[in-house]
Amino acid sequence: MRFGIDFGGTNLKTGLFTEQGEIIKFEENKLSKFTNQGNLLKALIKFSRDFIEGFSVTKGGLAIKGLVNTYTGYVMEDIGAGELLAGINLAKVFSESLNIPFIIENDARAYALGEWKFGAGRNTDNMVCITLGTGLGCAAIVNGQPFRGADVFGGLLGGHISIDRNGPECSCGNRGCLELYCSATALNARVKKNHPELNIYKEALPRFFEKVKENKFYRTTLEKFQDDLAIGIVNLIHAYNPDLVVLGGGVLKSSNLIMPRLIEIVHRRAWTYPRGKVQIKASELGNKAAALGVAFHPELENK
Q: Say if residue 235's pLDDT is above 70.
A: yes
Burial class (CB in 10 A: 0-12, 13-18, 19+), 150: exposed
| Mean predicted confidence (pLDDT) in 146-161 | 90
Q: How large a percentage of the chain has pLDDT more than 90? A: 81
* pLDDT at residue 80, as a whole number: 61
Within the chain, all domains assigned CATH 3.30.420.40 are found at 2-110+288-302, 122-284
Closest CA to 254 of 207, 221, 302, 193: 207
Chain centroid to CA 192: 23
- φ, ψ of residue 169 in degrees (nearest 5): -75, 135
Which phi and psi (to 5°) does residue 88 adopt?
A: -115, 135
Q: Give the single-character DSSP code of 270.
A: S
pLDDT score, position 82: 63
pLDDT at 79 over 90: no
Query: DSSP letters along 198-239, please?
Result: GGGSSSHHHHHHHHHTT-HHHHHHHHHHHHHHHHHHHHHHHH
Tell me the pLDDT band of 81, cut-offs 50, 70 and 90. low
pLDDT tens, position by position, 118-153: 999 999 999 999 999 989 999 999 999 999 988 888
3-state secondary structure of 11: strand
CATH node for 122-284: 3.30.420.40
pLDDT in tens, 86-127: 788 999 999 999 999 999 999 999 999 999 999 999 999 999
Q: Indicate the CATH number for domain 2-110+288-302.
A: 3.30.420.40
* High-pLDDT (> 70) share of the chain, %: 98
- Read off the DSSP letter of residue 56: -
